[in-house]
Amino acid sequence: MKIRFLKIKGTWREVADAARTTIRRDEGEGEPSTKWKKRILLAEHSPIRKLCFNWKWEDLPYWVSVHFVRHKYGIEHFVSTQRSDRTGEDRAAKTQDAPVVHECFANAQAVMFISRRRLCSQASPETRAAWKAVVEAIAEKEPEVAACCVPECVYRGFCPEFKSCGFVDTPAFKEAVAKYRTV
């Protein structure tokens, strides 16, 4: 599996100006501070949806792709077809791990939400690895967004799963929660 980060749409200035609109203030100037970025991301106020990401996985196993298409709010999926009439190959002969190309376009809020599910230790290792690659690519361009991409237990402060992996009982969990909440 390879990932190609395609682009970011929207700027922090646009996010800040949208936030100002919601509180009836005039547009501002300059880049918002790192602290402000982290605060608005943690609050998940609607203007963060102006910041969007586009990436493409190549050679992603079909069954892993299926995990991601379950996410439908704030994200669009474009997955290469396996239809026999389009590929010239017998679809019925393909296995669940047949590779597909899966392109996504998602806003910052959706990226953070997907992280809660797909960075969880209960997610399959292959799905977790594919999502970690996305978060790492985002971190290169938007480190504040990547810092808010955490598993559900870190986001909530406890594990909501029926069967916990045990991470919540470790010192590393407490450190992860503190780091996530630091503004």
Q: Within this chain, do residues 170 and 92 fall inside the same structural domain, yes or no?
A: no
- 3-class state of residue 51 by DSSP: coil
Question: What would the mean pLDDT of 29-54 be, rounded to a whole number?
Answer: 96
Strand partners, 163: none
User: Across the chain, how many H-helices and E-strands are there?
Assistant: 9, 4
Instruction: With cut-offs at 50, 70 and 90, classify the pLDDT of residue 140.
Output: very high
Q: Within this chain, do residues 104 and 166 fall inside the same structural domain, yes or no?
A: no
Question: What would the mean pLDDT of 39-60 be, rounded to a whole number?
Answer: 98
Q: Within this chain, do residues 111 and 94 fall inside the same structural domain, yes or no?
A: yes
Q: Within this chain, do residues 86 and 121 fall inside the same structural domain, yes or no?
A: yes
Instruction: With cut-offs at 50, 70 and 90, classify the pLDDT of residue 36.
Output: very high
What's this model's pTM, rounded to 2 decimal places?
A: 0.94
Q: Within this chain, do residues 114 and 167 fall inside the same structural domain, yes or no?
A: no
Q: Within this chain, do residues 81 and 118 fall inside the same structural domain, yes or no?
A: yes
> Nearest Cα to 97, choosing from 130, 71, 72?
130
**Which domain does 183 fall in, by range?**
152-183
Predicted confidence at residue 27, as pLDDT, reads 81
Q: Within this chain, do residues 135 and 175 fall inside the same structural domain, yes or no?
A: no
